[in-house]
């Protein structure tokens, strides 16, 4: 019954969940996590949550949290899930938080993400409209533990893309099929006074994978604006 309730909650919030057994994780991920010596990880379980598509944002707006409280909303969902599973006594929310959280590496192990010219992971169904929201440590599995897949066994949707609209629609020419995403070009263009990329990433919007799951214009503007503010603070240092 609990698993049914958890799956229903995940669906209602527009979330995916993948649970790992810590002991089975690759050594480099274990090392990253164990750098936080405040937490004992052996024999524990880690559950990675990611929102897929626009449902998460719609639920955020409809609830008690303001649209600038994505992390607090994510934490509240994480606690709701562990309470539903009767695992709250020994549960620890690792992300959002101040400790190490190798979200990208775990997302690749979950088969949620493959590299793309956009400089971010691409999901085979949801395309670029997937984002990591929480990482939870529990003493027992939150959802069924799934086998770990090697990165080289995951096929990127980009390999079969013929039109490459992400390259053509990037005003900064930061996206390329031949080179890694040029973060310097992207950052420089975004900080221009009249940049068209302050609230929207035109390359990301153009990706044909998962087009039906694109975030609302409001949500895209929220994430892009916050990222730009962080970029400006970094550049000012």
Residue 1: what pLDDT?
A: 42
Residue 8: what pLDDT?
A: 94
Residue 10: what pLDDT?
A: 96
Provide the token pair at 182: 């040029």
- By three-state DSSP, how is residue 93 classified? strand
Mean pLDDT of the region 205-230: 93
Q: Cβ distance 156 to 116 under 8 Å?
A: yes
- By three-state DSSP, how is residue 220 classified? helix
pLDDT digits over 79-102, tens only?
Answer: 999 999 999 888 999 999 988 999
Q: Cβ distance 22 to 34 under 8 Å?
A: no
Residue 2: what pLDDT?
A: 67
Residue 152: what pLDDT?
A: 55
Output the CA angle 198-200-206, nearest 5 degrees: 145
Res 186 pLDDT > 80: yes
Res 48 pLDDT > 50: yes
Residue 36: what pLDDT?
A: 83
Mean of the per-residue pLDDT values for the chain? 91
Res 195 pLDDT > 60: yes
Mean pLDDT of the region 184-200: 93
Residue 233: what pLDDT?
A: 82
Share of the chain above pLDDT 90, in %: 75
Angle subtended by helix axes 70-84 and 2-13, to nearest 10: 160
Across 109-202, where does the E strand assignment appear?
130-138
Res 129 pLDDT > 80: yes
Res 61 pLDDT > 60: yes
More confident: 1 or 147: 147
Q: Give backbone dihedrals phi and psi of 137, rounded to 5 degrees, phi first.
A: -105, 130
Q: Cβ distance 37 to 121 under 8 Å?
A: no
Res 38 pLDDT > 90: no
Mean pLDDT of the region 31-42: 90
pLDDT digits over 130-154, tens only?
Answer: 999 999 999 999 999 987 766 556 7
């Amino acid at each position: 019954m609990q698993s049914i309730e958890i799956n229903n909650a995940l669906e209602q919030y527009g979330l995916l969940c993948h649970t790992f057994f810590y002991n089975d994780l690759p050594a480099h991920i274990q090392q990253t996590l164990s750098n936080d010596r405040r937490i004992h990880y052996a024999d524990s379980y880690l559950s990675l949550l990611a929102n897929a598509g626009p449902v998460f944002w719609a639920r955020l707006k409809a609830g008690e949290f303001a649209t600038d409280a994505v992390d607090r909303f994510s934490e509240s969902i994480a606690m709701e899930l562990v309470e539903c599973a009767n695992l709250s006594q020994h549960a620890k929310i690792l992300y959002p938080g101040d400790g190490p959280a190798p979200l990208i590496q775990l997302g690749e192990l979950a088969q949620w993400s493959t590299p793309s010219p956009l400089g971010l992971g691409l999901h085979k169904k949801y395309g670029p409209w997937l984002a990591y929201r929480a990482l939870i440590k529990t003493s027992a599995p939150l959802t069924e533990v799934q086998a770990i897949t090697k990165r080289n066994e995951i096929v990127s949707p980009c390999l079969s893309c013929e039109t490459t609209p992400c390259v053509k629609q990037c005003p900064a020419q930061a996206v390329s099929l031949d080179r890694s995403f040029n973060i310097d070009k992207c950052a420089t263009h975004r900080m221009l006074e009249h940049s068209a990329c302050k609230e929207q990433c035109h390359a990301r919007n153009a990706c044909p994978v998962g087009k039906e799951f694109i975030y609302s214009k409001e949500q895209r503007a929220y994430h892009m604006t916050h990222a730009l503010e962080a970029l400006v603070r970094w550049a000012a240092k």
